[in-house]
Amino acid sequence: MSNTKALLISLLVAMFAVLMLFSYLSSRENALLEMATPIQVLVANRDIPEGMRLDADMLETVKIPQKFVQPGSFNEPKQVINRSINVPVLKGTQIIESMFISSEAESIASKIPADKRAFSIFVTDVTAVGELIQPGDMVDVMVTVEAGSFQNGRGVSEEIITRTVLENVLVLAVNHQSSKRRSLTAGDAGQESAGSVYKTDQDRADQKREPFKTLTVSLSPRDVQILNLSQEIGTLSAALRSSFDSGKIENLPPLSAQEFLGINKSIIPRGNPAWIEMRDTESYGR
């Protein structure tokens, strides 16, 4: 009797084990089938350089196992057309949301602090540190004016004075560029070497650059008045501050040419600045 009971218990245990194994294998099979289910995703059909604005010719849809679908992926070209890509993308790479430049981030108004104003000043390559200033940099702004008197209704220049009018000013934009990345269209970019969308320093140097014309800076309402007046009476220049700068305000006094040179004689201003530049038919310099 005891042997029969033991045999029945063994059979029940064996049946339970078989049922558990069957349930496990069934769940694993379903999980594997689910992961292998083909999902349509959007991929690049060619190498796409950073900053490119996407169009339908750059994209295609393919089906891949669900397991390999990346978070934030897209399944239709219309979801991304005319959006600017934020990173270089190689052919066959899935297009995902994190690759794009946020339209909010590109808005200049969203970058202006609540108590500030955006104000643009005229600059050239030379007065803007040789095109090295970028959005997000901090600069000091100086004005150079000619002081003198009026004789017979004509202004006579007697002294040249430079003054730092504003210090530690945030640059919001350079020309129309409000971020360090430049948005490109399909006609702007070409692949510099086979199989690569990464530009070398020489590649970037060879690109045609828009001449510096304006810097847009973040100012208090009072500083807007100061800079607007300074721009009307003299020539503005920007000095780029170090990224390691503590933001200390120097409050430097005005510096005259006589004081700088240690002479009492009047300074005869030159007709045009020494750094005047000619590009095509445009002349830069005041």
Please state, as a whole number, how many other Cβ atoms lie within 10 Å of the Cβ of residue 110.
11
Instruction: Write out pLDDT tens, residues 4-27.
Output: 777 777 777 788 788 887 777 777
Instruction: Give the model's pLDDT for residue 272.
Output: 57
State residue 117's pLDDT score.
92
> pLDDT of 60-93, one tens digit each?
999 888 878 888 999 899 899 888 888 899 999 9
Q: In angstroms, rounded to a whole number, what is the distance separating the alpha carbons of residues 43 and 74?
A: 9
Phi, psi of 43 (to 5 degrees): -130, 165
Running along the chain, 286 residues long, what does each successive block of 10 average in pLDDT?
72 80 73 70 90 87 86 90 86 90 60 85 83 87 86 77 92 78 48 48 54 86 94 91 85 84 74 52 47
Which pLDDT does position 8 carry in this prediction?
76
Residue 182, both tokens: 């430049």
- Find out whether 127 and 235 touch, Cβ atoms under 8 Å: yes
The reported pLDDT for the residue numbered 60 is 94
CA-nearest of 260, 13, 233 to 144 is: 233
**Which pLDDT score, from 0 to 100, does residue 94 have?**
93
The confidence score (pLDDT) of residue 278 equals 47
